[in-house]
Amino acid sequence: SASASLAKFPDATTSAALTDMIQHDPSLIVRGEALAAYLTVAGDAALPTATRVMAMPSWQNVLRGPALPVLATMQSKEAQNLYHQYAQ
């Protein structure tokens, strides 16, 4: 996906492009993939966005699902708390 490709080039421009996708793409699937890529690129700095986005209901958890494996690998307490809040 485009968001996964962007994650291979972590910088401020990449973070801005991913947050734009998270906020404005009409596809919830794309938004979920962009959120996972943003967490990969920005780490804990992406947690406020992740917390907000993951709180939104979505069909089949398409917003949360892609982010969960990334959160599972993050070390901060905040990331782990968010992971455990939504992991089933």
CA distances from 66 to 22, 44, 48, 72 (A): 12, 16, 16, 11
* pLDDT one-digit tens code per residue, 2-12: 666 666 766 77
CB 75 within 8 A of CB 41: no
* pLDDT one-digit tens code per residue, 2-57: 666 666 766 778 899 999 999 999 999 999 999 999 999 999 999 999 999 999 98
